[in-house]
Amino acid sequence: MNAAAVRPGGERRWEERVQRAAHPLVYPLLSRVRRPAVRVPGIGVLVTDAGLLRGVLLDTASFTKTGPGSPAELWTPVLGPSVLLNMEGVDHLALRRRLAPLFAPAFVGELTRATVGAAAARLTERLVAGESIDLVAEVRDYAGRVISRLVGLDRDDIGEELFARVSAVTGYVRLARPRFTPTQVAVARSVLAELTEHARLAYHGDASTVPGRMRELGLSEDEAMGAVGAFVLTGTETLVSYLPRLVAILHDTGWLARLAADRALVDAAVAEGLRVTTPSPVMLRSVRAETAVGGVRVHPGDRLVLATFLADRAAGAFDPVGNPAASLKQLWFGAGVHFCLGAPLAMAQIDTTLGAVLDAAAAAPLRIAGRRAQRGTLIPAYARLALSR
Ligand code: HEM
């Protein structure tokens, strides 16, 4: 282990820097909130307590992802009306059921092997050979390979440029702005149209591609294109945010070398990493029926801002031994009917990539040769994290 690199609390200082760089105004504002639920003018009712937050997610009679201030208000103009994250009730359930085979263990295992397997094996070799690797660029490359697969492209890489345009679309999201402007909607739709141009062709082809498989699973062309758009928007930046942050935390706490020598606590470290980073930091709901949340009266049409990142980190500092994450039932992936559909794919990609880094660390101790936090992005992330021997 590179003992000189481990400073008590060092991982928290870097995490703080990453979050502040992304949201210089909102992050300090929300971090000061101590109450479990509080109305914040111009934003909505902020919920910071894990138990309350889970209660909201499970109570679909009182709270919804459609309606004023909800994800539907934001995303329906861009993605259309039927993309899971803007649906409720029986239609939502039926679409989730039809998509379920795409996230079954065998399917995500094969998708991960086919998209990142070889690159991850090369990552280990390159690190052991002494190359300095920017893990952000590396994971972004993996995400591009996954997107290519999802939209039915043969070639491995969809290109940095399109990835940057997808990030620009999520970058339009602001807590204080419940809707996109007409110009933003137009730009976002053109990015999505470019992606789904390939997916439409693949949809009409055989079931060897993901869109073709969606047709076989009974999705209409519009539903399949909406699902592709939703996967790209929800599943790309979360992983590009998480994996470099996880490796940075492992490095800064000395756990990288410990796990490389003994993998027994890898699963706990991954869960703890997800808890303290919470890559999808906030969820939104619209109030459907008069009720109260943590003593705050809420009315139909009110907007709830569920600050998962505050609820998760209230359980303490990163600790794979004590593993406070275990009591949170994967709150970082949501709860109830909208629980992250892509979680099995995310976990497969995380296991493969982290496994490759740990294999390299087992052969030769790794250090962070340089890093920089990304400014002004929706999902807090490193812009660069250089890993080398
Ligand atoms: C570490 C990575 C990820 C995290 C932390 C994450 C987190 C979340 C969270 C918190 C939700 C629930 C939102 C809510 O209830 O408002 C969600 C939903 C969703 N996620 Fe993920 N996600 C990740 C990766 C992925 C991936 C890789 C995919 C797919 C390719 C994906 C696809 C989805 C979809 C489709 C939904 C909507 C489900 C529904 O509304 O029924 N996610 N995700």
Q: What is the DSSP string of 12-29?
A: HHHHHHHHHHH-TTHHHH
**CA-nearest residue, atom 41 of ligand 1:** 338
For a ligand 1 pocket test, name from 340, 349, 379 the mutation site with the most ligand atoms within 8 angstroms of its C-beta.
340
Q: Report the atom number in ligand 1 closest to the C-alpha of 92.
A: 41
Q: What pLDDT is attached to residue 154? A: 64
Give domain status of residue 164, yes or no.
no
For a ligand 1 pocket test, name from 234, 285, 286 the mutation site with the most ligand atoms within 8 angstroms of its C-beta.
234
The CA 16 to ligand 1 mean position distance, Å, reads 23
Give domain status of residue 154, yes or no.
no
Give domain status of residue 187, yes or no.
no
| CA dist., res. 126 & res. 309, Å (int) | 34
Those residues whose C-beta lies under 8 Å from the C-beta of residue 334, and which sit 6 or more positions away, are 57, 280, 283, 340
| CA dist., res. 165 & res. 160, Å (int) | 9
Q: Report the atom number in ligand 1 closest to the C-alpha of 232.
A: 30
Domain span at 251: 3-34+42-129+240-388
Give domain status of residue 160, yes or no.
no
The CA 234 to ligand 1 mean position distance, Å, reads 6
For a ligand 1 pocket test, name from 58, 280, 345 the mutation site with the most ligand atoms within 8 angstroms of its C-beta.
280
CATH of the domain at 360: 1.10.630.10
Q: What pLDDT is attached to residue 3? A: 44
Give domain status of residue 191, yes or no.
no
Pocket lining for ligand 1, CB < 6 angstroms? 84-85, 96, 230-231, 234-235, 238-239, 242, 279-280, 283, 332-334, 338, 340-342, 345-346
Give domain status of residue 172, yes or no.
no
Which residues in the chain land under pLDDT 70?
Answer: 1-5, 154-159
The CA 145 to ligand 1 mean position distance, Å, reads 18
Q: What pLDDT is attached to residue 155? A: 57
Give domain status of residue 244, yes or no.
yes
DSSP 303-323: EEEE-HHHHHHTT-S--TTT-
Q: Report the atom number in ligand 1 closest to the C-alpha of 283.
A: 16
Are the C-beta atoms of 152 and 387 separated by less than 8 Å? no
The CA 326 to ligand 1 mean position distance, Å, reads 19
Q: What pLDDT is attached to residue 6? A: 72
Give domain status of residue 177, yes or no.
no
**CA-nearest residue, atom 7 of ligand 1:** 333
Q: Report the atom number in ligand 1 closest to the C-alpha of 334.
A: 10
Q: Report the atom number in ligand 1 closest to the C-alpha of 278.
A: 5
pTM for the full predicted model: 0.95
**CA-nearest residue, atom 19 of ligand 1:** 340
| CA dist., res. 297 & res. 260, Å (int) | 50
| CA dist., res. 35 & res. 187, Å (int) | 38
Residue linked to tokens 């998760």: 312
Are the C-beta atoms of 49 and 294 separated by less than 8 Å? yes
Q: What pLDDT is attached to residue 156? A: 53
Q: What pLDDT is attached to residue 131? A: 98
The CA 338 to ligand 1 mean position distance, Å, reads 8
Residue linked to tokens 């600790």: 319
The CA 28 to ligand 1 mean position distance, Å, reads 25
**CA-nearest residue, atom 12 of ligand 1:** 334
The CA 128 to ligand 1 mean position distance, Å, reads 33
Q: Report the atom number in ligand 1 closest to the C-alpha of 96.
A: 41
17 by Cβ neighbours in 10 Å (0-12 / 13-18 / 19+) ranks as middle
107 by Cβ neighbours in 10 Å (0-12 / 13-18 / 19+) ranks as middle
| CA dist., res. 349 & res. 163, Å (int) | 18
| CA dist., res. 332 & res. 325, Å (int) | 10
Q: Report the atom number in ligand 1 closest to the C-alpha of 87.
A: 40
Number of independent structural domains in the chain? 1
